[in-house]
Structure 1
Amino acid sequence: MDLFKLDSGVALVTGAGSGIGQAIAIGLAEAGADVACFGHASNGGLEQTAEKVRALGRKALVLTGSVTSGADLAMAIGRVEAELGALTVAVNNAGIAGSEAAETMPLEKWRKVHEVNVAGVFLSCQAEARVMLPRRAGSIINIASMSGTIVNRGLTQAHYNSSKAAVIHMSKSLAMEWADRGLRVNVISPGYTLTPMNKRPEVAEEVKVFKRDTPMGRMAAPEEMVGPAVFLASRASSFVTGLDLIVDGGYVCW
Protein backbone atom coordinates (compact mmCIF):
# COMPACT_ATOMS: atom_id res chain seq x y z
CA MET A 1 0.00 0.00 0.00
CA ASP A 2 1.19 3.51 -0.80
CA LEU A 3 0.57 4.56 2.80
CA PHE A 4 3.55 2.47 3.91
CA LYS A 5 5.95 3.50 1.15
CA LEU A 6 8.97 5.59 2.05
CA ASP A 7 9.90 6.50 -1.52
CA SER A 8 12.13 9.60 -1.60
CA GLY A 9 12.60 9.29 2.16
CA VAL A 10 15.95 9.66 3.89
CA ALA A 11 16.47 7.73 7.12
CA LEU A 12 19.14 7.71 9.82
CA VAL A 13 19.46 4.63 12.04
CA THR A 14 21.78 4.63 15.05
CA GLY A 15 23.24 1.33 16.18
CA ALA A 16 22.70 0.01 12.66
CA GLY A 17 25.55 -2.50 12.68
CA SER A 18 23.70 -5.50 14.09
CA GLY A 19 20.51 -6.87 15.57
CA ILE A 20 17.40 -4.71 15.62
CA GLY A 21 19.14 -1.64 14.21
CA GLN A 22 20.47 -3.55 11.22
CA ALA A 23 17.10 -5.18 10.52
CA ILE A 24 15.27 -1.85 10.67
CA ALA A 25 17.82 -0.11 8.43
CA ILE A 26 17.36 -2.79 5.78
CA GLY A 27 13.58 -2.75 6.24
CA LEU A 28 13.41 1.02 5.69
CA ALA A 29 15.36 0.54 2.47
CA GLU A 30 12.91 -2.17 1.39
CA ALA A 31 10.13 0.40 1.94
CA GLY A 32 11.94 2.83 -0.37
CA ALA A 33 14.17 5.02 1.81
CA ASP A 34 17.83 5.83 1.43
CA VAL A 35 19.54 4.99 4.72
CA ALA A 36 22.42 6.40 6.75
CA CYS A 37 23.91 3.84 9.16
CA PHE A 38 25.43 5.36 12.29
CA GLY A 39 27.47 3.61 14.97
CA HIS A 40 30.89 2.70 16.30
CA ALA A 41 33.59 1.66 13.86
CA SER A 42 34.60 -1.34 15.99
CA ASN A 43 33.46 -3.95 13.47
CA GLY A 44 32.24 -4.31 9.92
CA GLY A 45 28.58 -4.40 10.82
CA LEU A 46 27.78 -0.94 9.49
CA GLU A 47 29.35 -1.74 6.14
CA GLN A 48 27.42 -5.01 5.96
CA THR A 49 24.18 -3.14 6.59
CA ALA A 50 25.05 -0.55 3.96
CA GLU A 51 25.83 -3.27 1.41
CA LYS A 52 22.41 -4.82 1.98
CA VAL A 53 20.74 -1.43 1.59
CA ARG A 54 22.55 -0.83 -1.70
CA ALA A 55 21.61 -4.30 -2.91
CA LEU A 56 17.99 -3.15 -2.66
CA GLY A 57 18.73 -0.29 -5.03
CA ARG A 58 18.82 2.40 -2.36
CA LYS A 59 21.61 4.77 -1.37
CA ALA A 60 23.51 4.05 1.84
CA LEU A 61 25.89 6.08 3.95
CA VAL A 62 28.14 4.76 6.72
CA LEU A 63 28.75 7.20 9.58
CA THR A 64 30.88 6.49 12.63
CA GLY A 65 30.67 8.19 15.98
CA SER A 66 29.07 8.08 19.41
CA VAL A 67 25.51 9.00 20.33
CA THR A 68 26.90 10.55 23.51
CA SER A 69 28.68 13.19 21.41
CA GLY A 70 26.59 16.08 20.13
CA ALA A 71 29.42 16.99 17.78
CA ASP A 72 29.49 13.48 16.26
CA LEU A 73 25.74 13.57 15.73
CA ALA A 74 25.76 17.05 14.21
CA MET A 75 28.52 16.03 11.81
CA ALA A 76 26.64 12.85 10.87
CA ILE A 77 23.39 14.67 10.15
CA GLY A 78 25.26 17.30 8.18
CA ARG A 79 26.63 14.56 5.94
CA VAL A 80 23.21 12.93 5.60
CA GLU A 81 21.68 16.18 4.42
CA ALA A 82 24.57 16.92 2.06
CA GLU A 83 24.91 13.44 0.54
CA LEU A 84 21.44 11.86 0.76
CA GLY A 85 19.05 14.78 1.12
CA ALA A 86 16.67 16.13 3.74
CA LEU A 87 16.31 13.82 6.74
CA THR A 88 12.73 12.53 7.04
CA VAL A 89 13.03 9.53 9.39
CA ALA A 90 15.29 8.82 12.36
CA VAL A 91 15.45 5.59 14.32
CA ASN A 92 17.44 5.94 17.54
CA ASN A 93 18.35 2.36 18.32
CA ALA A 94 21.84 2.58 19.85
CA GLY A 95 21.93 1.36 23.43
CA ILE A 96 23.69 -0.89 25.91
CA ALA A 97 22.50 -3.40 28.49
CA GLY A 98 23.87 -5.16 31.54
CA SER A 99 23.02 -7.09 34.67
CA GLU A 100 24.23 -6.10 38.11
CA ALA A 101 22.85 -6.45 41.64
CA ALA A 102 21.55 -3.06 42.75
CA GLU A 103 23.19 -3.14 46.18
CA THR A 104 26.69 -3.61 44.75
CA MET A 105 26.38 -1.77 41.43
CA PRO A 106 29.22 0.73 40.94
CA LEU A 107 27.94 4.22 40.21
CA GLU A 108 30.02 4.27 37.02
CA LYS A 109 28.05 1.33 35.61
CA TRP A 110 24.78 3.11 36.38
CA ARG A 111 26.04 6.31 34.77
CA LYS A 112 27.34 4.55 31.66
CA VAL A 113 24.00 2.88 30.90
CA HIS A 114 22.10 6.12 31.42
CA GLU A 115 24.66 8.12 29.44
CA VAL A 116 24.20 5.94 26.35
CA ASN A 117 20.55 4.92 26.68
CA VAL A 118 19.05 8.21 27.89
CA ALA A 119 21.44 11.06 27.12
CA GLY A 120 22.38 9.38 23.83
CA VAL A 121 18.76 9.19 22.72
CA PHE A 122 18.10 12.77 23.82
CA LEU A 123 21.12 14.11 21.96
CA SER A 124 20.10 12.14 18.88
CA CYS A 125 16.55 13.51 19.00
CA GLN A 126 17.87 17.01 19.55
CA ALA A 127 20.21 16.88 16.56
CA GLU A 128 17.54 15.37 14.33
CA ALA A 129 14.88 17.86 15.41
CA ARG A 130 17.14 20.77 14.57
CA VAL A 131 16.88 19.92 10.87
CA MET A 132 13.34 18.51 10.90
CA LEU A 133 11.52 21.25 12.82
CA PRO A 134 12.28 24.07 10.37
CA ARG A 135 10.71 21.92 7.63
CA ARG A 136 7.75 21.06 9.88
CA ALA A 137 8.00 17.40 8.94
CA GLY A 138 9.64 14.23 10.17
CA SER A 139 9.28 11.05 12.18
CA ILE A 140 11.57 10.10 15.06
CA ILE A 141 11.36 6.57 16.43
CA ASN A 142 13.17 5.71 19.64
CA ILE A 143 13.87 2.08 20.52
CA ALA A 144 13.18 1.41 24.20
CA SER A 145 12.17 -1.95 25.69
CA MET A 146 9.29 -3.69 27.40
CA SER A 147 11.65 -3.41 30.39
CA GLY A 148 10.68 0.26 30.54
CA THR A 149 7.14 -0.85 31.43
CA ILE A 150 7.63 -4.06 33.41
CA VAL A 151 10.45 -5.58 35.47
CA ASN A 152 11.83 -8.75 33.88
CA ARG A 153 11.62 -11.84 36.03
CA GLY A 154 14.94 -12.96 37.45
CA LEU A 155 17.06 -10.18 35.94
CA THR A 156 18.94 -7.63 38.06
CA GLN A 157 19.02 -4.58 35.82
CA ALA A 158 17.71 -1.54 37.67
CA HIS A 159 20.02 0.68 35.62
CA TYR A 160 18.80 -0.69 32.27
CA ASN A 161 15.10 -0.80 33.20
CA SER A 162 15.09 2.75 34.50
CA SER A 163 16.95 4.00 31.41
CA LYS A 164 14.34 2.50 29.10
CA ALA A 165 11.49 3.92 31.20
CA ALA A 166 13.19 7.30 30.81
CA VAL A 167 13.34 6.89 27.02
CA ILE A 168 9.61 6.18 26.88
CA HIS A 169 8.59 9.20 28.95
CA MET A 170 11.16 11.48 27.32
CA SER A 171 9.79 10.50 23.91
CA LYS A 172 6.25 11.35 24.98
CA SER A 173 7.47 14.69 26.30
CA LEU A 174 9.25 15.50 23.04
CA ALA A 175 6.21 14.38 21.06
CA MET A 176 4.04 16.89 22.89
CA GLU A 177 6.63 19.66 22.62
CA TRP A 178 6.97 19.23 18.85
CA ALA A 179 3.48 18.06 17.84
CA ASP A 180 2.34 21.46 16.58
CA ARG A 181 5.49 21.81 14.44
CA GLY A 182 4.96 18.73 12.31
CA LEU A 183 7.45 16.42 14.01
CA ARG A 184 6.20 13.08 15.34
CA VAL A 185 8.05 11.13 18.05
CA ASN A 186 7.16 7.54 18.89
CA VAL A 187 8.68 4.52 20.62
CA ILE A 188 9.06 0.84 19.80
CA SER A 189 9.53 -1.32 22.89
CA PRO A 190 10.72 -4.80 21.89
CA GLY A 191 10.31 -7.84 24.06
CA TYR A 192 12.90 -10.60 24.18
CA THR A 193 14.54 -10.63 20.75
CA LEU A 194 16.98 -13.10 19.25
CA THR A 195 19.83 -10.67 18.60
CA PRO A 196 23.47 -11.84 18.38
CA MET A 197 23.85 -11.14 22.11
CA ASN A 198 21.17 -13.74 22.85
CA LYS A 199 22.70 -16.35 20.56
CA ARG A 200 25.79 -16.80 22.73
CA PRO A 201 26.15 -20.32 24.25
CA GLU A 202 26.55 -18.89 27.74
CA VAL A 203 22.99 -17.49 27.74
CA ALA A 204 21.32 -20.61 26.33
CA GLU A 205 19.55 -21.41 29.61
CA GLU A 206 18.31 -17.82 29.98
CA VAL A 207 16.93 -17.95 26.43
CA LYS A 208 14.87 -21.02 27.38
CA VAL A 209 13.32 -19.00 30.22
CA PHE A 210 12.67 -16.02 27.95
CA LYS A 211 10.75 -18.27 25.56
CA ARG A 212 8.86 -19.98 28.37
CA ASP A 213 7.74 -16.68 29.90
CA THR A 214 6.52 -15.17 26.62
CA PRO A 215 2.86 -16.03 25.85
CA MET A 216 3.66 -16.69 22.18
CA GLY A 217 6.27 -19.23 23.31
CA ARG A 218 9.25 -17.80 21.46
CA MET A 219 11.53 -14.79 21.14
CA ALA A 220 11.13 -12.22 18.38
CA ALA A 221 13.34 -12.16 15.32
CA PRO A 222 14.97 -8.73 14.79
CA GLU A 223 13.08 -8.51 11.49
CA GLU A 224 9.80 -8.47 13.40
CA MET A 225 10.58 -4.91 14.47
CA VAL A 226 10.63 -3.77 10.82
CA GLY A 227 6.85 -3.64 10.37
CA PRO A 228 6.32 -1.43 13.42
CA ALA A 229 9.19 0.84 12.32
CA VAL A 230 7.87 1.23 8.77
CA PHE A 231 4.40 1.96 10.16
CA LEU A 232 5.69 4.68 12.47
CA ALA A 233 7.97 6.11 9.77
CA SER A 234 5.32 6.30 7.07
CA ARG A 235 2.10 8.16 6.28
CA ALA A 236 0.23 5.15 7.68
CA SER A 237 0.83 6.64 11.15
CA SER A 238 0.33 10.30 10.23
CA PHE A 239 -1.93 10.90 13.26
CA VAL A 240 0.22 8.90 15.70
CA THR A 241 2.63 10.59 18.08
CA GLY A 242 3.69 9.93 21.68
CA LEU A 243 2.98 6.20 21.29
CA ASP A 244 4.92 3.43 23.03
CA LEU A 245 4.35 0.48 20.69
CA ILE A 246 5.18 -2.66 22.69
CA VAL A 247 6.20 -5.58 20.45
CA ASP A 248 6.67 -8.39 22.96
CA GLY A 249 4.65 -11.47 22.03
CA GLY A 250 2.24 -10.65 24.85
CA TYR A 251 4.80 -10.61 27.66
CA VAL A 252 3.57 -7.51 29.49
CA CYS A 253 0.05 -8.99 29.71
CA TRP A 254 1.41 -11.38 32.32
Structure 2
Amino acid sequence: MSLRLFSRALPKSCPASPQRSIVGLRVRFNSSDAPVTPEKMPIPTRTRNLADFSMANRVCMVTGGARGLGLEFCKAFIQSGCTDLAILDLKEEEAAAAGEELIKQSCVDSTMEPTDYRVMGLGCDVSSELSVQQAFRKVMDTYGRIDSVVASAGIVENYSAFDYPFDRIKRLYDINVHGAFFTAREAARHMIPQGGGSIVLVASMSANIVNIPQPQTPYNAAKAAVKHMAASLAVEWAKKGVRVNCLSPGYMLTKLTRTILAHDPELKRTWESLTPMGRMGEPEDLAGAIVFLASDASRFMTGSEIRVDGGYCII
Protein backbone atom coordinates (compact mmCIF):
# COMPACT_ATOMS: atom_id res chain seq x y z
CA MET A 1 0.00 0.00 0.00
CA SER A 2 1.48 3.31 -1.02
CA LEU A 3 0.65 6.67 0.45
CA ARG A 4 0.88 10.31 -0.41
CA LEU A 5 1.88 12.75 2.28
CA PHE A 6 1.97 16.50 2.15
CA SER A 7 4.67 17.57 4.63
CA ARG A 8 4.86 20.76 6.59
CA ALA A 9 7.57 22.94 7.99
CA LEU A 10 7.09 24.23 11.54
CA PRO A 11 3.59 23.72 12.97
CA LYS A 12 1.58 26.75 13.97
CA SER A 13 -1.99 27.25 14.98
CA CYS A 14 -4.67 28.31 12.51
CA PRO A 15 -5.74 31.93 12.82
CA ALA A 16 -9.25 32.89 13.69
CA SER A 17 -11.75 33.39 10.89
CA PRO A 18 -11.56 36.77 9.17
CA GLN A 19 -13.12 39.32 11.50
CA ARG A 20 -16.59 40.50 10.57
CA SER A 21 -17.12 44.15 9.82
CA ILE A 22 -17.61 46.33 12.88
CA VAL A 23 -21.07 47.34 11.67
CA GLY A 24 -22.22 43.74 11.28
CA LEU A 25 -20.83 42.79 14.66
CA ARG A 26 -22.54 45.67 16.45
CA VAL A 27 -25.94 45.25 14.76
CA ARG A 28 -26.12 41.56 15.60
CA PHE A 29 -25.78 42.10 19.33
CA ASN A 30 -27.44 45.52 19.61
CA SER A 31 -30.60 45.33 21.74
CA SER A 32 -31.68 48.89 21.05
CA ASP A 33 -33.71 50.15 18.12
CA ALA A 34 -31.61 53.30 18.01
CA PRO A 35 -29.53 53.74 14.87
CA VAL A 36 -26.00 52.47 15.15
CA THR A 37 -23.24 54.81 14.06
CA PRO A 38 -19.53 54.13 13.79
CA GLU A 39 -18.85 56.72 16.50
CA LYS A 40 -20.85 54.72 19.05
CA MET A 41 -19.28 51.40 18.27
CA PRO A 42 -16.72 49.94 20.67
CA ILE A 43 -13.55 48.59 19.18
CA PRO A 44 -14.04 44.79 19.14
CA THR A 45 -11.56 42.59 20.92
CA ARG A 46 -10.29 39.28 19.58
CA THR A 47 -12.76 36.50 18.96
CA ARG A 48 -12.98 34.12 21.91
CA ASN A 49 -13.69 30.43 21.41
CA LEU A 50 -13.85 27.60 23.93
CA ALA A 51 -10.40 26.03 23.76
CA ASP A 52 -11.72 22.50 24.28
CA PHE A 53 -13.29 22.57 20.81
CA SER A 54 -9.92 23.11 19.15
CA MET A 55 -8.52 20.29 17.03
CA ALA A 56 -5.06 21.86 16.95
CA ASN A 57 -2.18 19.52 17.79
CA ARG A 58 -4.41 16.48 17.33
CA VAL A 59 -3.82 13.68 14.84
CA CYS A 60 -7.12 12.79 13.21
CA MET A 61 -8.24 9.99 10.91
CA VAL A 62 -11.46 9.70 8.88
CA THR A 63 -12.47 6.59 6.95
CA GLY A 64 -14.56 7.18 3.86
CA GLY A 65 -13.08 10.67 3.87
CA ALA A 66 -12.70 11.29 0.14
CA ARG A 67 -16.32 12.30 -0.43
CA GLY A 68 -19.74 12.77 1.13
CA LEU A 69 -20.09 13.15 4.86
CA GLY A 70 -16.59 11.81 5.49
CA LEU A 71 -15.13 14.71 3.52
CA GLU A 72 -17.28 17.13 5.51
CA PHE A 73 -15.83 15.72 8.73
CA CYS A 74 -12.31 16.28 7.36
CA LYS A 75 -13.21 19.88 6.50
CA ALA A 76 -14.59 20.45 9.99
CA PHE A 77 -11.38 19.19 11.60
CA ILE A 78 -9.19 21.38 9.38
CA GLN A 79 -11.38 24.42 10.07
CA SER A 80 -11.07 23.72 13.80
CA GLY A 81 -7.27 23.82 13.71
CA CYS A 82 -6.22 20.27 12.78
CA THR A 83 -3.08 20.14 10.65
CA ASP A 84 -2.33 16.40 10.93
CA LEU A 85 -5.02 14.41 9.14
CA ALA A 86 -5.22 10.96 7.56
CA ILE A 87 -7.93 10.51 4.93
CA LEU A 88 -8.78 6.88 4.21
CA ASP A 89 -10.86 5.70 1.29
CA LEU A 90 -11.07 2.70 -0.99
CA LYS A 91 -9.16 4.43 -3.80
CA GLU A 92 -5.96 6.03 -2.64
CA GLU A 93 -5.80 8.52 -5.50
CA GLU A 94 -9.20 9.90 -4.48
CA ALA A 95 -8.15 10.18 -0.84
CA ALA A 96 -4.96 12.00 -1.87
CA ALA A 97 -6.86 14.34 -4.20
CA ALA A 98 -9.30 15.18 -1.42
CA GLY A 99 -6.36 16.01 0.85
CA GLU A 100 -4.80 18.31 -1.72
CA GLU A 101 -8.07 20.16 -2.23
CA LEU A 102 -8.60 20.55 1.52
CA ILE A 103 -5.18 22.12 1.91
CA LYS A 104 -5.80 24.42 -1.03
CA GLN A 105 -9.11 25.62 0.40
CA SER A 106 -7.74 26.08 3.90
CA CYS A 107 -5.04 28.45 2.68
CA VAL A 108 -7.47 30.83 1.00
CA ASP A 109 -7.72 34.11 2.94
CA SER A 110 -5.38 32.66 5.55
CA THR A 111 -1.82 33.07 6.72
CA MET A 112 -1.40 29.30 6.53
CA GLU A 113 0.79 27.76 3.84
CA PRO A 114 0.45 24.30 2.24
CA THR A 115 3.62 23.24 4.04
CA ASP A 116 1.90 23.90 7.38
CA TYR A 117 -0.21 20.79 6.87
CA ARG A 118 0.50 17.09 6.96
CA VAL A 119 -2.46 15.50 5.22
CA MET A 120 -2.12 11.86 4.24
CA GLY A 121 -4.25 10.12 1.61
CA LEU A 122 -4.43 6.36 2.13
CA GLY A 123 -6.14 3.56 0.25
CA CYS A 124 -7.98 1.28 2.64
CA ASP A 125 -10.68 -1.35 2.32
CA VAL A 126 -12.35 -1.16 5.73
CA SER A 127 -14.03 -4.53 5.19
CA SER A 128 -10.55 -6.09 5.39
CA GLU A 129 -9.02 -6.31 8.85
CA LEU A 130 -5.54 -6.54 7.31
CA SER A 131 -6.08 -3.42 5.20
CA VAL A 132 -7.22 -1.46 8.25
CA GLN A 133 -4.24 -2.65 10.29
CA GLN A 134 -1.82 -1.62 7.53
CA ALA A 135 -3.41 1.82 7.31
CA PHE A 136 -3.05 2.39 11.05
CA ARG A 137 0.59 1.32 10.95
CA LYS A 138 1.30 3.90 8.26
CA VAL A 139 -0.47 6.59 10.25
CA MET A 140 1.50 5.73 13.38
CA ASP A 141 4.77 5.60 11.44
CA THR A 142 4.05 9.07 10.06
CA TYR A 143 2.59 10.92 13.05
CA GLY A 144 3.64 8.82 16.03
CA ARG A 145 0.19 8.97 17.64
CA ILE A 146 -3.51 9.14 16.84
CA ASP A 147 -6.03 11.15 18.84
CA SER A 148 -9.38 11.22 17.04
CA VAL A 149 -10.78 8.60 14.66
CA VAL A 150 -14.06 8.75 12.75
CA ALA A 151 -15.42 5.55 11.19
CA SER A 152 -17.48 7.08 8.41
CA ALA A 153 -17.09 4.58 5.55
CA GLY A 154 -20.42 3.03 4.63
CA ILE A 155 -22.86 2.18 1.87
CA VAL A 156 -26.65 2.05 1.51
CA GLU A 157 -28.79 0.12 -0.97
CA ASN A 158 -32.54 -0.19 -1.42
CA TYR A 159 -33.92 -3.65 -2.10
CA SER A 160 -37.03 -5.28 -0.72
CA ALA A 161 -36.30 -8.07 1.75
CA PHE A 162 -37.38 -10.78 -0.72
CA ASP A 163 -35.27 -9.35 -3.54
CA TYR A 164 -32.07 -8.43 -1.66
CA PRO A 165 -29.17 -10.51 -3.10
CA PHE A 166 -27.17 -12.24 -0.38
CA ASP A 167 -23.82 -11.10 -1.74
CA ARG A 168 -25.02 -7.49 -1.50
CA ILE A 169 -26.19 -8.00 2.08
CA LYS A 170 -22.82 -9.48 3.03
CA ARG A 171 -20.95 -6.62 1.38
CA LEU A 172 -23.06 -4.05 3.23
CA TYR A 173 -22.39 -5.70 6.59
CA ASP A 174 -18.70 -6.14 5.83
CA ILE A 175 -18.32 -2.40 5.19
CA ASN A 176 -20.83 -0.85 7.57
CA VAL A 177 -20.50 -3.15 10.58
CA HIS A 178 -17.23 -5.07 10.34
CA GLY A 179 -15.46 -2.02 8.94
CA ALA A 180 -16.57 0.10 11.89
CA PHE A 181 -15.44 -2.59 14.32
CA PHE A 182 -12.02 -3.06 12.70
CA THR A 183 -11.49 0.72 12.66
CA ALA A 184 -12.49 1.17 16.30
CA ARG A 185 -10.44 -1.78 17.50
CA GLU A 186 -7.24 -0.67 15.76
CA ALA A 187 -7.76 2.89 16.98
CA ALA A 188 -8.07 1.70 20.57
CA ARG A 189 -4.96 -0.51 20.26
CA HIS A 190 -2.92 2.61 19.57
CA MET A 191 -4.80 5.07 21.79
CA ILE A 192 -4.64 3.07 25.03
CA PRO A 193 -0.79 3.07 25.28
CA GLN A 194 -0.70 6.84 24.66
CA GLY A 195 -3.30 7.54 27.36
CA GLY A 196 -6.56 7.66 25.42
CA GLY A 197 -8.40 9.19 22.52
CA SER A 198 -11.80 9.69 20.92
CA ILE A 199 -13.53 7.34 18.48
CA VAL A 200 -16.71 8.32 16.65
CA LEU A 201 -18.74 5.68 14.85
CA VAL A 202 -21.07 7.12 12.24
CA ALA A 203 -24.43 5.37 12.39
CA SER A 204 -27.70 6.90 11.17
CA MET A 205 -31.12 7.88 12.39
CA SER A 206 -31.98 4.54 10.73
CA ALA A 207 -30.56 2.92 13.87
CA ASN A 208 -33.64 4.23 15.68
CA ILE A 209 -36.46 4.31 13.13
CA VAL A 210 -37.64 2.51 10.01
CA ASN A 211 -37.19 4.67 6.94
CA ILE A 212 -40.08 5.05 4.52
CA PRO A 213 -40.94 4.71 1.70
CA GLN A 214 -37.67 3.06 0.60
CA PRO A 215 -36.97 -0.54 1.71
CA GLN A 216 -33.57 -0.96 3.39
CA THR A 217 -33.82 -3.52 6.17
CA PRO A 218 -30.15 -4.68 6.14
CA TYR A 219 -28.95 -1.06 6.24
CA ASN A 220 -31.22 -0.17 9.16
CA ALA A 221 -30.13 -3.27 11.07
CA ALA A 222 -26.45 -2.55 10.31
CA LYS A 223 -26.70 0.99 11.67
CA ALA A 224 -28.48 -0.26 14.78
CA ALA A 225 -25.55 -2.62 15.23
CA VAL A 226 -23.08 0.27 14.90
CA LYS A 227 -24.97 2.29 17.50
CA HIS A 228 -24.91 -0.56 20.01
CA MET A 229 -21.31 -1.33 19.10
CA ALA A 230 -20.32 2.17 20.14
CA ALA A 231 -22.06 1.77 23.49
CA SER A 232 -20.50 -1.64 24.10
CA LEU A 233 -16.97 -0.57 23.23
CA ALA A 234 -17.40 2.56 25.31
CA VAL A 235 -18.01 0.46 28.41
CA GLU A 236 -15.15 -1.90 27.57
CA TRP A 237 -12.59 0.89 27.16
CA ALA A 238 -13.95 3.59 29.48
CA LYS A 239 -11.31 3.14 32.19
CA LYS A 240 -8.54 3.01 29.60
CA GLY A 241 -9.07 6.56 28.42
CA VAL A 242 -10.73 5.73 25.10
CA ARG A 243 -14.12 7.30 24.48
CA VAL A 244 -16.48 5.85 21.87
CA ASN A 245 -19.54 7.78 20.77
CA CYS A 246 -21.99 7.60 17.90
CA LEU A 247 -23.10 10.27 15.42
CA SER A 248 -26.41 9.56 13.67
CA PRO A 249 -27.26 11.85 10.74
CA GLY A 250 -30.69 12.19 9.23
CA TYR A 251 -31.35 12.82 5.55
CA MET A 252 -28.39 14.84 4.27
CA LEU A 253 -28.06 16.57 0.91
CA THR A 254 -24.70 15.16 -0.09
CA LYS A 255 -23.63 15.42 -3.71
CA LEU A 256 -24.76 11.84 -4.34
CA THR A 257 -28.13 12.37 -2.65
CA ARG A 258 -28.75 15.53 -4.67
CA THR A 259 -28.10 13.59 -7.87
CA ILE A 260 -30.53 10.83 -6.86
CA LEU A 261 -33.27 13.24 -5.79
CA ALA A 262 -32.94 15.27 -8.96
CA HIS A 263 -34.54 12.30 -10.71
CA ASP A 264 -37.11 11.71 -7.94
CA PRO A 265 -38.41 15.03 -6.60
CA GLU A 266 -41.42 13.30 -5.03
CA LEU A 267 -39.11 11.31 -2.74
CA LYS A 268 -37.46 14.54 -1.63
CA ARG A 269 -40.85 16.06 -0.82
CA THR A 270 -41.76 12.93 1.16
CA TRP A 271 -38.57 13.04 3.23
CA GLU A 272 -38.99 16.75 3.91
CA SER A 273 -42.65 16.34 4.91
CA LEU A 274 -41.67 13.66 7.45
CA THR A 275 -38.99 15.89 9.00
CA PRO A 276 -40.34 18.35 11.60
CA MET A 277 -37.92 21.06 10.46
CA GLY A 278 -39.33 20.68 6.95
CA ARG A 279 -36.02 20.31 5.17
CA MET A 280 -33.14 17.95 4.60
CA GLY A 281 -29.83 18.61 6.28
CA GLU A 282 -26.82 20.21 4.65
CA PRO A 283 -23.59 18.23 5.19
CA GLU A 284 -22.05 21.16 7.07
CA ASP A 285 -24.87 20.86 9.63
CA LEU A 286 -22.83 17.98 11.09
CA ALA A 287 -19.63 19.99 11.57
CA GLY A 288 -20.33 21.13 15.11
CA ALA A 289 -21.40 17.68 16.28
CA ILE A 290 -18.38 15.86 14.88
CA VAL A 291 -15.91 18.38 16.34
CA PHE A 292 -17.68 18.18 19.71
CA LEU A 293 -17.46 14.38 19.81
CA ALA A 294 -13.86 14.23 18.57
CA SER A 295 -12.50 16.99 20.78
CA ASP A 296 -11.97 17.51 24.50
CA ALA A 297 -15.28 19.36 24.64
CA SER A 298 -16.97 15.96 25.13
CA ARG A 299 -14.34 14.53 27.48
CA PHE A 300 -16.90 13.18 30.01
CA MET A 301 -19.09 11.69 27.29
CA THR A 302 -18.87 8.11 26.08
CA GLY A 303 -21.32 5.51 24.83
CA SER A 304 -23.71 8.25 23.70
CA GLU A 305 -25.47 8.99 20.44
CA ILE A 306 -26.00 12.41 18.92
CA ARG A 307 -28.78 12.52 16.32
CA VAL A 308 -28.67 15.34 13.79
CA ASP A 309 -31.89 14.69 11.91
CA GLY A 310 -34.06 17.81 11.95
CA GLY A 311 -36.29 16.14 14.52
CA TYR A 312 -37.16 13.13 12.35
CA CYS A 313 -36.90 10.60 15.18
CA ILE A 314 -39.05 12.63 17.55
CA ILE A 315 -42.32 11.74 15.83
TM range (shorter): over 0.9
Structure 2 counterpart of 1:3: 52
Structure 1 counterpart of 2:90: 40
Higher fraction of helix:
1
CA contact (8 A) 2:92 2:121 kept: no
**1:75 pairs with 2:134:** yes
Provide, for residues 170-203 of structure 1, a one-character-per-residue CA deviation record: whole Å limited to 9, x for no partner: 1100000000000000000000000122111323
TM-score by length of 1: 0.95
Structure 2 counterpart of 1:233: 294
Aligned residues with identical type, % of pairs: 36
Structure 2 counterpart of 1:53: 102
Shift of 1:104: 2.4
Q: 1:2 to 1:176 in 2, by over 3 A?
A: same
In the TM superposition, structure 1's runs of 4+ consecutive aligned residues that sit over 3 Å from their partners are none
Q: 1:198 to 1:68 in 2, by over 3 A?
A: same
Shift of 1:42: 7.5
Q: Which amino acid aligns with 2:192?
A: L
CA contact (8 A) 2:249 2:286 kept: yes
Shift of 1:231: 0.3
- Separation (CA, whole Å) in 2 of partners of 1:217 and 1:22: 25
Provide, for residues 153-172 of structure 1, a one-character-per-residue CA deviation record: whole Å limited to 9, x for no partner: 21210000000000000110
**1:29 pairs with 2:78:** yes
Deviates more, 1:14-23 or 1:198-207: 198-207
CA contact (8 A) 1:13 1:92 kept: yes
Structure 2 counterpart of 1:19: 68
Shift of 1:78: 1.4
TM-score by length of 2: 0.77
Matched position secondary structure for 1:6: coil
Structure 2 counterpart of 1:185: 244
Aligned residues: 253
Shift of 1:43: 6.5
Q: 1:53 to 1:85 in 2, by over 3 A?
A: farther
Structure 2 counterpart of 1:110: 169
* Unpaired segments ≥5 residues, structure 1: none
* Unpaired segments ≥5 residues, structure 2: 1-49, 107-111
Q: Which amino acid aligns with 1:253?
A: I
- Separation (CA, whole Å) in 2 of partners of 1:16 and 1:204: 28
